[in-house]
Amino acid sequence: MFVCGFTEKKFLLLGSKAAIGGAQRVQLDLAGWLHSQGLRVVAAFFYDAEGLIPIWREKYPFEIICLDAWGSGGGLPGRVLRLVGRWLWLVRWLRRERFDAILTFTHDSNLLGLAAAWLAGVPRRFGSHHGRFVSLSHLKRRLHALLINSRLASGLVAVSEETRRQAMEEGVRPEHVTVIINGVSPSLVSQSAARAARAQLLPEPDGFFIFNAARLVPEKGQRVLLRAAVRVQAEFTDAVFVIAGDGPLRADLAELAAELGISDQVKLLGSRADVPELLAACDIFVLSSLTEGLPMALLEAMAAGKPVVSTDVGGIRAALDDGSCGLLVPPDNASALADALLRLLRDERLRAKLAQKARARVRDVYSLERMGADYLRLLNGHFEE
């Protein structure tokens, strides 16, 4: 156990929606680590976007609740009334449960959760910033900065130096921001499970499996990835691009793949619970994002010992040690992305070298143990950068 002196503490980790995403992965991994230290921890979500709460309750040993605060019926007025009612319930519940600290995830949860926690008298109230979202309105950014700078919040956690800079650009004062970089624990996947995943997706057993795991939204840059795939396919006809994740762009991406003539080489899998198996099965992990904080998918790929090609955004350059643990390319540049992928596909020794260095980098710098210990010190008021 990490530190038995904190076993009397009770923490709430509150996210906006239960979905497959990086912020949710941090929330659940951190809750699991805190639970493993003998702490009382609850993971809560304002709503269940993908029907994941029952699955997570079976998988994780800590308590998981859903506030059911954003229904699908009743139109916008009905949804708003439901949100207000559930927010008031949250205030009463927080007051009754007497949490010692709350950590909220993403702007929406920060705005709603920290205000509720302040009203309920929760002593320590931290939000978190995981990256910039193009759909986030200027008004919401402004309100978020005002809240973090006020006495309603104890501070804001940024998951990289780049997200710290983004938070300050949004108006958050620097003394209110603490950097705690993300961490992961390597997933244990059997060789038979990896082989089965590979056989399911590759028409040719010796083909190349290029993998992307991200929500299908504009900021993840999958349109750029598909355009890069055209050039890769011209040289490596047995390469298959597999994308795990769902979102509003799924139909558009399928249409673009058809227009580019690569529908047979692109697999849009939707949300998947077997991402660790897919990572273990792939040859190259590619991240095409236009903006990021410090993506968990990238760290998971590195921990799995996979060669990485990534856009140079957010905290990724630091994670890849200035490119020594993976290939960096500028964002929104299909030609550069294709060049980097082709370079790796042509060079087996380079793939092996980058994979080895990426795994060591995660072990030494981006471990779940380090991340958990940093958050624990913050929630207990003992964190020093």
On the question of pLDDT at 208 being above 90, the answer is yes
The model's pTM = 0.85
Question: In 3D, which of 217, 111, 216, 84 has the Cα closest to residue 170?
Answer: 111
Alpha-carbon distance of 82 to 86, in angstroms, equals 6
Determine the average pLDDT of the residues in 201-229.
Answer: 94
pLDDT the model gives residue 132: 74
Element (H, E) at 40: strand 40-48
In the chain, domain spans = 4-183+367-379, 191-365
- Provide the 10 A C-beta neighbour count for residue 100: 18
The one-letter amino acid at 320: L
pLDDT the model gives residue 1: 41
Please, which pLDDT band fits residue 136 given cuts at 50, 70 and 90? confident
pLDDT digits (tens, 9 = 90+) for 349-359: 999 999 999 99
For the 4-183+367-379 domain, the top CATH level (class) is: alpha beta
pLDDT the model gives residue 243: 97
| 1 in Cβ contact with 38 (< 8 Å) | yes
pLDDT the model gives residue 271: 86
pLDDT the model gives residue 4: 45
- Both tokens of 95, joined, read 């007051």
Please, which pLDDT band fits residue 2 given cuts at 50, 70 and 90? very low
DSSP tag of 385: -
Please, which pLDDT band fits residue 314 given cuts at 50, 70 and 90? confident
**Cα 223 vs. chain centroid, distance in angstroms?**
20
**Cα 5 vs. chain centroid, distance in angstroms?**
30
4 or 262, higher pLDDT: 262
Same fold, 4-183+367-379 and 191-365: yes
Q: How does DSSP assign 195-257, residue by residue? A: HHHHHHH-SSTTSEEEEEES-SSGGG-HHHHHHHHHHHHHH-TTEEEEEEB--TTHHHHHHHH
Determine the average pLDDT of the residues in 41-58.
Answer: 92
Alpha-carbon distance of 54 to 73, in angstroms, equals 21
pLDDT digits (tens, 9 = 90+) for 244-272: 999 999 999 999 999 999 999 999 999 88
Share of the chain above pLDDT 70, in %: 95
| 217 in Cβ contact with 288 (< 8 Å) | no
Determine the average pLDDT of the residues in 331-359.
Answer: 97
Q: C-alpha dihedral over 18, 19, 25, 28, to 10 degrees?
A: 20
Kindly indicate whether the domain formed by 191-365 is annotated with CATH number 3.40.50.920: no
pLDDT digits (tens, 9 = 90+) for 152-174: 999 999 998 889 999 999 999 99
On the question of pLDDT at 106 being above 50, the answer is yes
Mean pLDDT, the chain, integer: 92
- C-alpha distance from residue 255 to each of 171, 249, 260, 261 (Å): 39, 10, 9, 10
pLDDT the model gives residue 242: 97
9 or 220, higher pLDDT: 220
Determine the average pLDDT of the residues in 214-239.
Answer: 96
Alpha-carbon distance of 240 to 263, in angstroms, equals 10
| 209 in Cβ contact with 282 (< 8 Å) | yes
Element (H, E) at 267: strand 266-270
Alpha-carbon distance of 42 to 195, in angstroms, equals 36
DSSP tag of 177: E
In angstroms and rounded to an integer, the radius of gyration of the C-alpha atoms of the chain is: 21
- Both tokens of 379, joined, read 């929630």
Give the HSE-up count for residue 208: Cα atoms under 13 Å, Cβ half-sphere: 23
**Cα 293 vs. chain centroid, distance in angstroms?**
9
Determine the average pLDDT of the residues in 320-341.
Answer: 96
pLDDT the model gives residue 307: 97
pLDDT the model gives residue 336: 98
76 phi-psi bin (left φ>0, alpha ψ -120 to 50, beta other) = alpha
pLDDT the model gives residue 73: 61
pLDDT the model gives residue 155: 96
